[in-house]
Amino acid sequence: MSEQLKIKLSIANRVYPLTIAASQEEGLRIAAQKIDATVKKFEQSYSVQDKQDVLAMCALQFAAESEQTKINKNSLSNALEQRLVDLNQRLEQHLDADVL
């Protein structure tokens, strides 16, 4: 079982204590930094007074990026799969032609 760490992450000027697997620490710290940077960007760009609104905008942005990444990966996987099918057909045709 992996080692458990107790860490504190600061997001939007609030501290969140977490107990996590050691392997998650770097990813969580980077994610918290990205959220803080995005919060600051939204606060500077828009006249939003409520932190909850800013955090909702951040959540929407990150969720949209995640979904777009999934869509792009699926599209790439489908394209690669089709290329492999085409290549396999060409190889089979070539091998069949050599056998005759």
Per-residue confidence (pLDDT) for residue 47, from 0 to 100: 84
pTM of the model: 0.69
Name the token pair of 56. 């909702």
Q: Which helix (H) or strand (E) holds 2?
A: none
Q: List, for residues 31-58, the tens digit of each pLDDT value.
A: 999 999 999 999 989 888 788 999 999 9
The closest of 3, 7, 66, 53 to 32, measured between CA atoms, is: 7
Per-residue confidence (pLDDT) for residue 41, from 0 to 100: 92
Per-residue confidence (pLDDT) for residue 49, from 0 to 100: 79
Per-residue confidence (pLDDT) for residue 77, from 0 to 100: 93
Residue ranges in the chain whose pLDDT is less than 50: none
